[in-house]
């Protein structure tokens, strides 16, 4: 393991003292320090490494499909203390900056999460709104407009979710939202200084930790699920002779001929199947992935809304109404993102500024350290990008009658880091790990979202569960039909070979390949 900042060395383990995330300020009393059994079990049907959104939904789908399975989940720190508990709170399908079939997959993932949250009445502050993507570069905006025109022509089902708002339009854009036509202008969207904007439906915001806490608590209550926190996995070893395992019947003709020994700081556990939901930390256990999935540090801050100038009384807390994404060209490399928490706190959750971090955060897996240049950028930049004034009268869509505020530094309540897993070819890796990549029968991976985990991970997890249950990469027929995993996501030896002929992640980052991710961490 080399020093951090290198993009061709294996990742370390999650550090013991991560920065304090806003999303981890209300930990689950059940999950905090949880170990279902005092001692680590000696064996399980399936071991899942990682307790974020991928691991949690994989466990949920496994128990849903095969309730009798004995599932053990191992987490290096507290439950959901990694990327899922540190992100920007967004869940937006990338409708126009991914190929249409992948946009459709992200839409299905978004819809799956939305239905899951609503059907279980999960208290995770799920809110559906519009996503405003403000462009501060005419070149990038014009490029996006051309892409969207083509999408609307060739894929109207996807294009129906997108509207384009141009600068100085005599006729404001119309947009259908929740059955009502809205008139959109840049000023009304609070981004009058932008060159233009793309507005999309289905922009969810949520408290991701609380969603995952609900899933894990529900699994624990149902039984047959053992969560072991503070148990970092230090290594894997394939056992090519029969091992003593609890009964796992993955089809009538499947016979357990081997298994895996999972080494941890508290002892070893054997299992026929191991699923690595390890994202940025994957190469710590699979060194062959050191140049395929690399850790990248991002940073987010929560801010108090700017105060209203006195003696003018405020009519209520600031309400920015939408979720936001701000993008500019390679000179500025702005790829910032913003949501707002509900009243009464109404905190602004703002992330980005990665270009201001040393080495752009590439190859860094330590989330304990806050980069001060990034923190200062986040404090000072937002009030210059958008109008944070408070409206005196509700319902004024075009910006009239506001208490205007000068550009100012915002007051942070929390400033934290999170570690993303960037993929060499830009797509997640879902499926069986081949022997040539430190794997073999029974070892599975679901990781490498390149900052786009929320609109991908849940159905990627469901897809890999289908493969585990069926015993092959085509997956369970019923699940495969529901999910339709993009072929680009499937982990194969051929794909690994091709990925190593692609430009490196550092080279891709230099040209701005990762700038348009609408979900961070």
pLDDT tens for residues 447-469? 999 999 999 999 999 999 999 99
Tens digit of each residue's pLDDT (9 = 90 or more) over 285-299: 999 999 999 999 999
Q: What CATH number does the domain containing 376 carry?
A: 3.50.50.60
List, as one string, the DSSP characters of 188-229: TTT-TTSSEEEEEEEEEE--HHHHHHHHHHHHHHHSSEEEE-
Q: How confident is the model at residue 394 (pLDDT cuts 50, 70, 90)?
A: very low
Query: Contact 480/474 with Cβ under 8 angstroms?
Result: yes
Query: Contact 378/353 with Cβ under 8 angstroms?
Result: yes
| Mean pLDDT along residues 130-156 | 95
My answer on whether omega of the bond before 344 falls inside 30° of 0, hence cis, is yes
Q: How many domains does the chain have?
A: 1
Residues ≥6 apart with Cβ < 8 Å to 472? none
Q: What is the 3-state secondary structure (H, E, C) of 277-307?
A: CCHHHHHHHCHHHCCCEEEEEEEEEEECCCC
Which residues is 391 bridged to in the sheet? 402
Give the SS3 label for residue 493.
Answer: helix
Model pLDDT, residue 247: 45
For the chain, how far is it from start to end, CA to CA, in angstroms? Answer: 23
| Mean pLDDT along residues 47-76 | 97
Chain mean pLDDT for the chain: 88
- Give the separation between CA 172 and CA 485, rounded to whole angstroms: 38
Tokens of 303: 């801010």
Name the residue among 285, 284, 276 with its Cα closest to residue 50.
276
Handedness of CA 54, 367, 237, 247 (dihedral sign): negative
Give the SS3 label for residue 381.
Answer: helix
Residue 246 lies in a domain: yes
Model pLDDT, residue 256: 45
Helix axes 457-470, 53-65, angle to 10 degrees: 40
| Mean pLDDT along residues 112-135 | 97
Model pLDDT, residue 32: 98
Residue 218 lies in a domain: yes
| Mean pLDDT along residues 172-196 | 79
Model pLDDT, residue 216: 98
Other residues' Cβ atoms within 10 Å of the Cβ of residue 111 = 14
Residue 274 lies in a domain: yes
| Mean pLDDT along residues 433-449 | 96
Model pLDDT, residue 177: 57
Model pLDDT, residue 246: 43
- Give the separation between CA 438 and CA 517, rounded to whole angstroms: 30
Higher pLDDT residue, 462 or 5? Answer: 462
Higher pLDDT residue, 110 or 180? Answer: 110
Lowest-confidence range among 349-358, 390-399, 434-443? 390-399
Residue 138 lies in a domain: yes
Other residues' Cβ atoms within 10 Å of the Cβ of residue 68 = 11
Whole-structure pTM value: 0.92
Predicted confidence (pLDDT) at residue 245 exceeds the cutoff of 50: no
Domain interval for residue 345: 1-389+404-521
| Mean pLDDT along residues 343-369 | 94
Q: How confident is the model at residue 395 (pLDDT cuts 50, 70, 90)?
A: very low
Residue 251 lies in a domain: yes
């Amino acid at each position: 393991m080399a020093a951090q900042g290198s993009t061709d060395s294996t990742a370390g383990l999650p550090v013991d003292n991560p920065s304090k995330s806003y999303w981890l300020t209300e930990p689950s009393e059940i999950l905090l320090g949880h170990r279902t059994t005092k001692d680590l079990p000696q064996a399980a049907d399936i071991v899942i490494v990682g307790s974020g959104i991928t691991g949690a939904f994989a466990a949920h789908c496994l128990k849903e499909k095969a309730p009798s399975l004995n599932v053990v989940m191992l987490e290096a720190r507290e439950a959901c203390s990694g990327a899922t508990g540190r992100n920007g709170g967004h869940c937006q399908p990338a409708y126009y900056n991914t190929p249409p079939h992948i946009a459709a997959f992200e839409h299905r993932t978004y819809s799956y999460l939305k239905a899951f949250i609503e059907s279980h009445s999960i208290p995770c502050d799920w809110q559906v709104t519009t996503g405003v993507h403000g462009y501060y570069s005419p070149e990038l905006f014009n490029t996006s407009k051309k892409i969207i025109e083509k999408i609307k022509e060739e894929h109207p089902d996807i294009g129906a979710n997108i509207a384009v708002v141009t600068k100085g339009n005599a006729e404001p854009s119309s947009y259908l939202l929740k059955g009502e036509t809205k008139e959109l202008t840049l000023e009304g969207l609070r981004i009058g200084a932008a060159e233009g904007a793309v507005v999309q439906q289905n922009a969810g915001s949520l408290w991701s930790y609380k969603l995952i806490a609900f899933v894990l608590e529900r699994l624990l209550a149902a039984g047959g699920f053992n969560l072991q926190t503070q148990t970092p996995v230090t290594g894997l070893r394939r056992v090519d002779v029969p091992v003593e395992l609890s009964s796992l019947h993955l089809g009538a003709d499947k016979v357990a001929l081997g298994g895996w020994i999972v080494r941890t700081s508290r002892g070893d556990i054997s299992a026929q199947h191991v699923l690595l939901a390890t994202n940025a930390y994957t190469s710590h256990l699979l060194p062959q992935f050191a140049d395929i999935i690399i850790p990248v540090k991002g940073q987010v801050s929560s801010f108090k809304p700017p105060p209203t100038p006195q003696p003018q009384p405020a009519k209520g807390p600031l309400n920015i109404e939408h979720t936001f994404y701000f993008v500019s060209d390679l000179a500025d490399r702005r790829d910032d993102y913003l949501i707002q928490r509900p009243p009464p706190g109404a905190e602004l959750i703002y992330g980005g500024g990665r270009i201001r971090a040393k080495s752009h955060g590439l190859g860094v897996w330590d989330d304990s350290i806050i980069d001060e240049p990034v923190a200062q950028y986040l404090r000072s930049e937002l009030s210059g990008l958008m109008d944070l004034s408070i409206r005196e009268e509700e319902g004024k869509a075009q910006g009239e009658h506001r208490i205007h505020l000068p550009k100012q530094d915002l007051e942070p309540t929390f400033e934290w880091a999170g570690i993303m897993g960037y993929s060499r070819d830009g797509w997640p890796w879902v499926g069986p790990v081949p022997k040539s990549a430190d794997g073999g029968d029974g070892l599975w991976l679901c990781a490498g979202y390149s900052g786009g985990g929320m609109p991908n991970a849940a159905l990627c997890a469901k897809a890999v569960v289908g493969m585990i249950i069926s015993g092959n990469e085509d997956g369970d027929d019923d699940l495969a039909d529901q999910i339709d995993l993009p072929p680009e996501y499937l982990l194969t030896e051929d794909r690994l070979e091709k990925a190593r002929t692609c430009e490196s992640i550092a080279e891709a980052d230099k040209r701005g390949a990762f700038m348009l991710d609408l979900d961070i961490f």
